[in-house]
Structure 1
Amino acid sequence: MDILFFLSYCMLITIAPGPANIVILSTVQNDSVKKAIEFCYGATLAFGIILVLSVISNSILTKYIPNILIFMQIIGTIYILYLAYLIFNMDLANTNKKEVGSFKTGFLMQFINPKVVIFCLTIFPSFIMPYYSSIYELLVFAFVITIIGAIAFFSWIIFGKLLKSFLQRYKKSTNIVLSLFLVYCAYMISGIEKFLY
């Protein structure tokens, strides 16, 4: 197993813009670093749980992946569009801020975030299980990947903090752009493009 390639792959996938990372950036911009940190704690905990569940039940889930993926695509698309709506209207309705940047949202979002679920379901059989089979070894890998995910999430807080003054100067424009990124994520997750081409 090429550990360097494996670690690079994990970092690139987790730090790439996705629904959770966009919400983190938006929370730093519209609310506070503290709320973004709460979101990251929830997202990291859920990420770790999903990885452990993937280790324990990978062989069972593999049999049912097509059904799971369809369900996750529908739920994930709806939820991500809902988050896009909240971010788009964030400066118009301050009460929505707490719904977006919270531990609970960060935690729940990961379970219906197809990017995370698909990554967790595929990382073990694709990269790790051909070389390691002990449950303890697999759990160590789950822990390492969770740490990589946490680093990626918290990197988005730093990115948001460094650009906060710029982002706040163009708050409405930034909210529109972030919302459009989420809509694009929802589009890609939904699988609609398969029917369009």
Structure 2
Amino acid sequence: MLLDNYSIGLLLFAGSMVATPGPANMILLNAGSQFGFKKAIPFVFGIILSKQLIIWPIGFGILTFFELFPNFVNFIKFLSCTYIIWLAWKLSNFKINDNKELEKPPSFFHGLPVHPTNPKAWAMVSVGFSNYTNPNESLLISTLILATIFIIIQFIFHNLWCFFGVQLKKIFQNTKYEIWLMRFLSLLMLGSLVLLFLK
């Protein structure tokens, strides 16, 4: 049965993790405020699919590779920190505007690196496999269930974060608080990274 106790637990876990602020959601919030919901849709779907680039390799044993080569994990962490800090800096200098010709909206392919370079995403998927998959199920079925639940949860909450960005634009555009909003969102992005490494 698909929704056994493990799957229900995974559903609740994934919902609580995906819905909360993190680098991916902060990026989506900004994309919505900058380009509007419709133009950001390809980027949203790129981010949703990008978690699958973590789920399937973890499901089929890439964590064993990481255990054998711990320095590679540190290299991934360095890349992810650099990427998220760069995104936060970009966000802090963004200005909400109506001129859509100034910048092109991010594409589907721009969304693909977001989760593979996000330590929170790796930790989230690893916990999902270790705590919320049925040990009596085959590896393929367990991975398929986890992948399906995450993609459904992401579809709901990543779109909501992007839509929330559109609403922020309506409230803060062309006000004196606009720059402070962008800086606050940047700090949230950096804060999510700091908290992750304190765990």
Give the TM-score band, short-chain normalised. Answer: 0.7 to 0.9
Q: TM-score, normalised by structure 1?
A: 0.82
Unmatched tracts of structure 1, length 5 or more: none
What TM-score, normalized by structure 2, do the two folds share?
0.81
Alpha-carbon contact 2:43-2:109 (below 8 Å) kept: yes
Distance 2:63 2:120 in 1: 20
| 1:160 paired to 2:165 | yes
The residue aligned with 1:13 is 17
Name the CA distance, whole Å, in 1 between partners of 2:37 and 2:102: 16
Please report how far the alpha carbon of residue 20 of structure 1 lies from its aligned counterpart in structure 2 after TM superposition. 0.9
Matched residue SS, 2:60: helix
Q: Kindly tell me: are residues 67 and 30 of structure 1, through their superposed partners in 2, closer, same or farther at Cα, counting changes over 3 Å?
A: same
Provide, for residues 129-150 of structure 1, a one-character-per-residue CA deviation record: whole Å limited to 9, x for no partner.
4342341343233122222122
Aligned to 1:125: 130
Going from structure 1 to structure 2, the CA distance change for 1:188 and 1:3 (only over 3 Å counts) comes to same
Question: Does 1:41 pair with 2:48?
Answer: no
Q: How big is the alpha-carbon RMSD for the aligned residues of Structure 1 and Structure 2?
A: 2.8
1:75 to 65, 74, 79: 79
Q: Deviations over 1:3-61 (max 9, x none)?
A: 33321111110111011100111111122223422221111111123212221225634
Moved more, 11-20 or 147-156: 147-156
| Alignment partner, residue 110 of structure 2 | 105
Report what 1:174 is aligned to: 181
Partners of 2:66 and 2:130 lie apart in 1 by: 9
Instruction: Using the TM superposition, name which of 26-35 and 133-142 deviates more.
Output: 133-142
Over 3 Å counting, the alpha-carbon distance change for 1:59 and 1:18 in structure 2 is closer
List alignment gaps of at least 5 residues for structure 2.
none
Aligned-pair CA distance for 1:153 = 0.7
Shift in alpha-carbon separation, 1:47–1:164, aligned structure 2, 3 A = same
Superposed CA offset, 1:88-120 (max 9, x none) = 11229x999548x33222111211111112212
Q: Name 2:192's counterpart in structure 1.
A: 185
The sequence identity of aligned pairs, in percent, is 26
User: Aligned residues, how many?
Assistant: 191
